[in-house]
Chain A
Amino acid sequence: MKILLDSGSGGRASHRLISDVFVRHFDNPALRRMDDAAVLALDGPLAMSTDGYTVTPLFFPGGSIGTLAVHGTVNDVAMMGARPRFLSCAFILEEGLDSGILERVVSDMAEAARRAGVDIVTGDTKVVPRGACDKLFITTTGVGRVFADPAPSGHSARPGDVILVSGAVGDHGLTVMVQRDGLSFSTDVRSDSAPLADMVEDIVRSAGEVHVLRDPTRGGLATTLNEIAEQSGVACVLEEAAIPVHDSVRAGCDLLGLDPLYLANEGKLICMVPEDRAEAALAAMSRSSYGREAALVGRIEAAERPRVELCTFMGGSRLLSMLEGAPLPRIC
């Protein structure tokens, strides 16, 4: 079956799509009522985040646009020291899309939401003429209660903090690139798409004082650290040898002239804590199945000009600047 323009008309065809696909998979009391809006009960300071998802291909080893649409937004909310609870989702579908593909995506989203402990409580679907979008786009918005006090923020890195990452970097970015362009090498790379809310809760409770939590998605570790360095007016000094990178990712990057520090991650976080809290935070990360390769990778130093510096394995140093545009493979 193909998705037709009728499926987004608001009439019977829309209703069939909503009840047969969305409500069936996302089922929860708020959604089942099918009112104009979901009525939620949440108190205290709230964190809210929204994100649009477009990715080619829609499915890749380790995840899909569906898992990204849940994990990406859930993780953004979690990085504020919050427990994500509810998601909204809006679909833009291309006329002629195979309904089996939509079903797979929605089923991935439902499974990801269950694992992340969030309900998808409201949504919308539009169908656009063939060619007006690429198969399907998803936008999700998430809300959750902030439990950390004070809440972590990119502005709160201080000299003396250490920089922790929850695992190996670059897996997602390289996976999507390899899949998209049909490259025949590095077949064992997998996206790290994963929900991090449980890990965040454990980190905040175990370490007590957490200054910064960020998920290094697009632009990778290097770009996210540059953002934090600028927001906090500090220098991030990294030890190259300490940064976890899987061998397959390193080999793929060598071949394509890419730097894993600039590739996207979808299930990793950067955490900055005072040095005496590092052990507790690392232990919390390692308790999560998504944080087994967590490592201390650097330190925050005072600086006149914000910068990210990498001490290379051979004792030299270089600057890590922000990503300029999408990483492109090189010629030779």
Chain B
Amino acid sequence: MDLSLPFRDPALCRSLLDALSRELDAFGRPVRFMEVCGTHTVSIFQSGLRPLLPANLTHLSGPGCPVCVTHDSEIAAILEAAGRPGVIVAAFGDLLRVPGPDGRTLRSVLAEGARVQVVYSPLDAVKLAASCPGETVVFPAVGFETTAPAIAGALLTARRQGVRNFCILPCCKLVPPALRALLEAPDESVPDRQERIDAFLLPGHVAVVLGLAPFRFVAEEFGRPAVVGGFQPADILSALCLMVRMLREGRPAVGNTYVRAVSEEGSPAARQVMDAVFRPADAFWRGLGRIPQSGLVLRGEWADFDGFRCLGVERKETKPVPGCRCGDILRGRLTPDRCPLFGTVCTPQNPTGPCMVSTEGSCAAWYRYGGR
């Protein structure tokens, strides 16, 4: 039986939509919300929720797709590793189409003779290494707090089993520092509150690991409501209702409507594994640039698994793509259709910017599902 079925119930969704409209009318002014999770982005489009949202609610997609925000220089390093003799790159499927600064992708270097294998879990990459003792298996560690514990777990396994021909390229990103960067960004270009984001829909999967505490600053320091939501339409709608109610009552807080999966304290076990292997460091985000303490690098005692070190691969500086407005889109200052490259120069077949590269990117979703 499909356990998510009740959360897609049409009657329930309609009554939640009515409740959302009533809350918004009671609040009395239009609001701008942002989600920071690619799964939310896709769910809102895929369920057809987007055109049903009340006209006085603008819903934006922030930097929530881990593949999209993987920096050009990191993709270039992954491609460089793939070109090394004796290397097999074991990667998540959606990384295969992401273009590096020269337009090449893992898929295109595959055609040039590189060895690239799609895996569904970092543990599969360790298994692959164990079965190919003569090769070096490199796993590009891309993702948020959702995937980082699994990657850390794979390293623990590799060490325990004595698998030495396995390494990762650490490119994981952390969500709360990116949220802070969005909130702290100097908005000279947007002097009035029209462009301000009133509240955040927090990523359910990330919160499963982190719990609520790392998000409290959104309400406490910046006075914006932030609510963890699940991924079915009823989950999303109930989170949006709570966000408007907090605004209306003037009591911004961090809330949780995804109680069937997210607890207040998150998963200490997952965090413990992650902390044992990784430590936070400054990181570069595609479209957003450098964000302090927003990435994960390997701790010193795990350096022998660091692909940058083992293979001597470097992150080289790259230039931003001229004309691409993904930075503004990720900050919620622009909708995808307002970017001059959208749908003409930049398409899912030939993506220019980060938001178009993965199916969970906001531009790709907008393009595919006919956003409005």
**A contact residues vs B (CB 8 Å cutoff):** 181, 183, 240, 247, 250-251, 254, 256-257, 259, 310-319, 321, 324-325, 328-332
Give every chain A residue within 8 A of B8 (Cβ-Cβ): 313-314
Give every chain A residue within 8 A of B118 (Cβ-Cβ): 181, 328-329
The contact of A315 among B52, B67, B120, by CB within 8 Å, is B52
- What is the minimal beta-carbon distance from B16 to any residue of chain A, in angstroms? 10
Q: Is the CB of A330 within 8 A of B52?
A: no
The contact of B360 among A181, A240, A247, A330, by CB within 8 Å, is A330
Q: Is the CB of A183 within 8 A of B96?
A: no
Quick one: given A316-B47, A316-B52, are A330 and B358 in contact (CB under 8 Å)? Answer: yes
Q: Which residue from chain B places its CB closest to the CB of A250 in the assembled complex?
A: B2
Cβ of B146 within 8 Å of any chain A Cβ, yes or no, is yes
The contact of A324 among B93, B349, B370, by CB within 8 Å, is B349
The contact of B2 among A251, A311, A317, by CB within 8 Å, is A251
Bound: A183/B123 CA distance, A: 13
Q: Is the CB of A316 within 8 A of B97?
A: no
Quick one: given A329-B118, A332-B205, are A314 and B233 in contact (CB under 8 Å)? Answer: yes
Give every chain B residue within 8 A of A181 (Cβ-Cβ): 118, 120
Bound: A251/B1 CA distance, A: 9
- What is the minimal beta-carbon distance from A154 to any residue of chain B, in angstroms? 22
**14 pairs across A/B with beta carbons < 8 Å?**
A181-B120, A254-B4, A312-B48, A312-B49, A314-B49, A316-B49, A316-B50, A321-B367, A321-B369, A325-B97, A331-B66, A331-B94, A332-B143, A332-B147
| Residue among B13, B120, B360, B367 with max Cβ neighbours from chain A (10 Å) | B120
- What is the minimal beta-carbon distance from B171 to any residue of chain A, in angstroms? 12
Give every chain B residue within 8 A of A313 (Cβ-Cβ): 8, 10, 47
- What is the minimal beta-carbon distance from A252 to any residue of chain B, in angstroms? 12
Cβ of B368 within 8 Å of any chain A Cβ, yes or no, is yes
Q: Is the CB of B147 within 8 A of A331?
A: yes
Bound: A318/B367 CA distance, A: 11
Residues of B91-110 whose CB lies within 8 A of A = 92-97
Cβ of B142 within 8 Å of any chain A Cβ, yes or no, is yes
Cβ of B51 within 8 Å of any chain A Cβ, yes or no, is yes
The contact of B48 among A183, A259, A315, A332, by CB within 8 Å, is A315
Give every chain A residue within 8 A of B66 (Cβ-Cβ): 331-332
Cβ of B144 within 8 Å of any chain A Cβ, yes or no, is yes
Quick one: given A324-B348, A332-B147, A332-B205, are A318 and B358 in contact (CB under 8 Å)? Answer: no
Give every chain A residue within 8 A of B39 (Cβ-Cβ): 332
Bound: A317/B13 CA distance, A: 14
| Top 9 A-B residue pairs of the complex, sorted by shortest distance between their CB atoms | A316-B48, A312-B48, A319-B370, A328-B93, A329-B93, A318-B369, A331-B92, A314-B13, A332-B146
Give every chain B residue within 8 A of A325 (Cβ-Cβ): 97, 349
- What is the minimal beta-carbon distance from A323 to any residue of chain B, in angstroms? 10
Q: Is the CB of A311 within 8 A of B94?
A: no
- What is the minimal beta-carbon distance from A236 to any residue of chain B, in angstroms? 14
Bound: A310/B45 CA distance, A: 11
Cβ of B194 within 8 Å of any chain A Cβ, yes or no, is no
Q: Is the CB of A247 within 8 A of B2?
A: yes
Quick one: given A313-B8, A314-B8, A319-B370, are A331 and B48 in contact (CB under 8 Å)? Answer: no
- What is the minimal beta-carbon distance from B95 to any residue of chain A, in angstroms? 7
- What is the minimal beta-carbon distance from A316 to any residue of chain B, in angstroms? 2
Bound: A251/B93 CA distance, A: 18
Quick one: given A183-B120, A310-B48, A316-B47, are A330 and B14 in contact (CB under 8 Å)? Answer: no
Quick one: given A183-B120, A313-B8, A324-B349, are A318 and B46 in contact (CB under 8 Å)? Answer: yes
Give every chain A residue within 8 A of B205 (Cβ-Cβ): 332
Bound: A240/B120 CA distance, A: 28
* A321-B370, A324-B349 known, 8 other contacts, Cβ within 8 Å: A181-B118, A314-B8, A316-B49, A316-B52, A317-B48, A318-B48, A321-B367, A329-B92
The contact of B94 among A183, A251, A318, A328, by CB within 8 Å, is A328
Q: Is the CB of B369 within 8 A of A319?
A: yes
- What is the minimal beta-carbon distance from A164 to any residue of chain B, in angstroms? 22
Report B1-30 CB contacts with A as 1/0, cut-off 8 Å: 110100010100110000000000000000
Give every chain B residue within 8 A of A254 (Cβ-Cβ): 4
Cβ of B359 within 8 Å of any chain A Cβ, yes or no, is yes
Bound: A317/B369 CA distance, A: 9
Bound: A317/B47 CA distance, A: 8
Give every chain B residue within 8 A of A247 (Cβ-Cβ): 1-2
Bound: A240/B10 CA distance, A: 12
Q: Which residue from chain A places its CB closest to the CB of B96 in the assembled complex?
A: A328
Q: Which residue from chain B places its CB closest to the CB of A256 in the assembled complex?
A: B120
Give every chain B residue within 8 A of A250 (Cβ-Cβ): 2
Q: Which residue from chain A places its CB closest to the CB of B67 in the assembled complex?
A: A331
Give every chain A residue within 8 A of B97 (Cβ-Cβ): 325, 328
The contact of A332 among B2, B144, B370, by CB within 8 Å, is B144
Residues of B41-60 whose CB lies within 8 A of A = 42, 45-52
Residues of B176-231 whose CB lies within 8 A of A = 205
Q: Is the CB of B370 within 8 A of A311?
A: no
Q: Which residue from chain B places its CB closest to the CB of A330 in the assembled complex?
A: B94
Residues of B318-372 whose CB lies within 8 A of A = 348-349, 358-360, 367-370
Q: Is the CB of A331 within 8 A of B143?
A: yes
Give every chain A residue within 8 A of B13 (Cβ-Cβ): 314
Give every chain B residue within 8 A of A321 (Cβ-Cβ): 367-370
Q: Which residue from chain B places its CB closest to the CB of A331 in the assembled complex?
A: B92
Give every chain A residue within 8 A of B349 (Cβ-Cβ): 324-325
Give every chain A residue within 8 A of B14 (Cβ-Cβ): 314-315
The contact of B370 among A240, A259, A318, A328, by CB within 8 Å, is A318
Give every chain A residue within 8 A of B120 (Cβ-Cβ): 181, 183, 256, 329
Bound: A147/B174 CA distance, A: 63
Bound: A181/B96 CA distance, A: 16
The contact of A314 among B52, B144, B367, by CB within 8 Å, is B52
Give every chain A residue within 8 A of B95 (Cβ-Cβ): 331
Bound: A256/B94 CA distance, A: 11
Give every chain B residue within 8 A of A324 (Cβ-Cβ): 348-349
- What is the minimal beta-carbon distance from B200 to any residue of chain A, in angstroms? 19
Give every chain B residue within 8 A of A310 (Cβ-Cβ): 48
